[in-house]
Amino acid sequence: MKKLHSILICLGLLMASGAAATDVNVIGLTAGKAVVTVNGGRSRVLRVGEATPEGVKLLSADSDRATFEIDGKRASLGLGQGISAVSVRSNNPSASLPANGQGHYLGMGSINGIGTRFMVDTGASLVSLSGAEARRIGLAYSQGQRGWMSTANGTVPVYKIVLNSVQVGDIVLNMVDAAVIEGSSPPVTLLGMSFLNRVEMRREGESMTLRKRF
């Protein structure tokens, strides 16, 4: 009973401090590369030195084992093995996006656990991405609410969908409205107001800092 009480106290402390688990599974191995899934997302190939948007970095790999750095800790996994690494996240998650030469704020993040490149766009009412990018991520966008948009290439279909999760930096938002524009434009995912309305935005020098509100 005393042991159970101690476990419950530990769990309570983790929940209060914003603990989260990063689930990593190894489904393929070769020299210098590992095929992994992170948090149940689609499989991806990591080369030594590369990291996922969730902070999982591949340090070494051969045909037998791979060594990762997950939230600052090392883990060695064989083929078919997985790990759930618990980390403590800030109660005030934030993200910093640097400006490019045109004054646009860009950064890497993820949609439903799959990495994508974002650009802050306060003129977009929804998070917006191309059909090509949506297919790469694995979104079944054709099942969404259909509309039309005029572009330089003519009138194209647009589909309104809901994203399970959108992550930028330490900020993770769930159930985010989005628009998928059929074709290959925009070339980057637009971080529109369906995401930005739920964060605070502040320009700090050559970067923009986002802080989660709710």
Mean pLDDT (the chain, rounded) = 84
- Could you tell me which residues are beta bridge partners of residue 38? 24
pTM metric for this prediction: 0.62
CATH class of the domain at 94-212: mainly beta
Closest CA to 176 of 159, 191, 186: 191
State whether the Cα torsion 155-158-100-47 is positive or negative: negative
pLDDT tens per residue across all 214 residues of the chain? 444 344 333 334 333 445 566 788 899 999 999 999 888 788 889 999 888 877 788 999 999 999 988 877 788 888 888 887 665 555 678 889 999 989 999 998 889 888 899 999 999 999 999 999 999 999 999 999 999 987 766 788 999 999 999 999 889 999 999 999 999 999 999 999 999 999 999 998 889 999 998 6
Backbone angles phi, psi at 5, to 5 degrees: -60, -40
**H/E element, 116:** strand 114-120
Cα gap 183→196, rounded to integer Å: 24
**Mapping DSSP to helix (H, G, I), strand (E, B) and coil, where does residue 120 land?**
strand
Q: Which fold has domain 2-88?
A: SH3 type barrels. (2.30.30)
Buried b (16+ CB within 10 A) or exposed e, 184-206: ebbebbbbbbbbbeebeeeeeee
CATH 2.30.30.830-classified regions of the chain: 2-88
Burial of 132 per CB tally in 10 Å (0-12, 13-18, 19+) = middle
What pLDDT is stored for residue 189 in this prediction?
97
Where b means 16+ CB within 10 Å and e means fewer, 67-104 reads bbebbeeebebeeeeebebeeeeeeebbbebeeeeeee
- Looking at the chain, the domain(s) classified CATH 2.40.70.10 span 94-212
